[in-house]
Amino acid sequence: MPDALRRESATDLGVEAIPMERYLSREFHELEVEKVWRRVWQMACREEAIPNVGDHIVYDIVDDSFLIVRTGPNEIKAFVNACLHRGRRLRTEGGCVPNFRCPFHGFTWNIDGTFAENPSSWDFPQINSERFSLPQVKVDTWGGFVFINMDRNAPPLEVFLEDLPDHFKHRPLEDRYTSIHIAKVIPANWKVTAEAFLESFHLVATHPQLLGSTSDESTEYSVWPGRRHISRAITVAGHSSPHMKGTDDDTIMSNYLLNRQYYGRAMEGRDLVADDLAVGEGQTPREFIAEQLRNQLKPLLGEEAAEAATDCEILDPIAYTVFPNFAPWMAAGPSLVYRFRPNGDDHESSIIDVMFLSPYPPGTERPRPAEVKWLREDQEWTDAEELGRLGPVLNQDANNIPEVQRGMKTLQHFRRGLMMSRYQESRIRHFHQTLMEYIKQ
Chain residues in the site for ligand FES (CB under 6 A): 83, 85-86, 88, 102, 104-107
Distance CA 80, CA 59 (A): 10
| Closer residue to ligand FES, CB minimum distance, 102 or 418 | 102
Q: Taking a C-beta distance cutoff of 8 angstroms, is the pair 215, 239 a contact?
A: yes
Minimum gap (Å) between residue 102 Cβ and ligand FES: 3
Amino acid of residue 438: Y
| Closer residue to ligand FES, CB minimum distance, 106 or 362 | 106
DSSP string, 74-119: TEEEEEESS-TTT---S-SS-EE-SEEE-TTT--EEETTS-EEE-T
Instruction: For residue 236, give the nearest of 171, 285, 297, 180 by alpha carbon.
Output: 285
Which range touches Fe ion (CB under 5 A), out of 36-44, 95-103, 390-398, 410-418?
A: 390-398
| Closer residue to ligand FES, CB minimum distance, 38 or 85 | 85
Residue 86: name its binding partner from ligand FES, Fe ion, none (Cβ under 5 to 8 Å by kind). Answer: ligand FES
Distance CA 8, CA 136 (A): 49
| Closer residue to Fe ion, CB minimum distance, 383 or 397 | 397
Minimum gap (Å) between residue 202 Cβ and Fe ion: 6
Write the CB contacts of 386 (distance below 8 Å, at least 6 apart in sequence).
Answer: 180, 182, 265, 266, 370
Residue of 397, 402, 415, 417 interacting with Fe ion (CB under 5 A) = 397
Write the CB contacts of 251 (distance below 8 Å, at least 6 apart in sequence).
Answer: 212, 240
The b/e string for 39-65 (b: 16+ C-beta within 10 A; e otherwise) is bbbbbbbbbbbbeeeebbbbbbbbebb
Minimum gap (Å) between residue 401 Cβ and Fe ion: 10
Q: Give the number of residues in contact with Fe ion, rule: CB under 5 A.
A: 1
Residue 397: name its binding partner from ligand FES, Fe ion, none (Cβ under 5 to 8 Å by kind). Answer: Fe ion
Residue 107: name its binding partner from ligand FES, Fe ion, none (Cβ under 5 to 8 Å by kind). Answer: ligand FES
Write the CB contacts of 329 (distance below 8 Å, at least 6 apart in sequence).
Answer: 317, 318, 319, 320, 335, 336, 337
| Closer residue to ligand FES, CB minimum distance, 117 or 403 | 117
| Closer residue to ligand FES, CB minimum distance, 95 or 106 | 106
Minimum gap (Å) between residue 139 Cβ and ligand FES: 23
Angle at 371 between CA 368 and CA 374, to 5 degrees: 160
Q: Which of residues 261-280 bind Fe ion (CB under 5 A)?
A: none
End-to-end CA distance of the chain: 35
Residue 104: name its binding partner from ligand FES, Fe ion, none (Cβ under 5 to 8 Å by kind). Answer: ligand FES
| Closer residue to ligand FES, CB minimum distance, 85 or 415 | 85
Q: Which of residues 60-119 bind Fe ion (CB under 5 A)?
A: none
Minimum gap (Å) between residue 439 Cβ and ligand FES: 35
Residues found near Fe ion in the complex (CB under 5 A) = 397
